[in-house]
Amino acid sequence: MADWREREVGNETRSRDINEIEDANLEHPGGSTTNRYVCECSDASCMATIRLTQDEYEQVRANGAHFAIALDHENPELDLVLAEHEAFAVVRKLPGFPARLARASDPRVAARVRVAS
């Protein structure tokens, strides 16, 4: 059942979970100073870190299918590069299965559902 795409998107959503925890404990909340986040690419062995301001990170997190990754870490079979910045890139999961899985596991969507009920 779990094919390679599910595993790879799973790697990205795990990194997102780590970043969500770090986002709650930022060295430099707000402003133009960057914070360290982990690369959210689909490579489970990737140990890269990227630097974004909290605002940049929040812009990525506003969409459940968007991820922040190190430059050149996109997987063309799963990711569409939306923007390349000096120190990181923003990708969107391709439509269909990868995007659905990314959205279904979005911790912020789960939080909104909990608040609503």
Query: Alpha-carbon distance 103 to 24, whole Å?
Result: 21
Among 16, 61, 66, 73, binds Zn ion (CB under 5 A): 73
Q: What are phi and psi of 34, to 5 degrees?
A: -85, 155
Our CB check for Zn ion shows the closer of 41 and 78 to be 41
Total residues in contact with Zn ion, by rule CB under 5 A: 6
Contact between 81 and Zn ion per CB under 5 A: no
Quickly list H helices, the chain. 4-23, 54-61, 97-104, 107-116
Region from 17-25, 26-34, 55-63, 67-75 binding Zn ion, contact rule CB under 5 A:
67-75
Nearest-approach distance from CB 86 to Zn ion, in angstroms: 16
Q: What angle do CA 109, 113, 117 make, to 5 degrees?
A: 170
Q: How far is the CB of 74 from Zn ion (least distance, A)?
A: 9
DSSP 96: T
Site string for Zn ion, 19-58 (x = CB under 5 A): --------------------x-x----x-x----------
Q: Note whether 28 and 54 are within 8 A (CB).
A: yes
The footprint of Zn ion (CB under 5 A) covers 39, 41, 46, 48, 70, 73
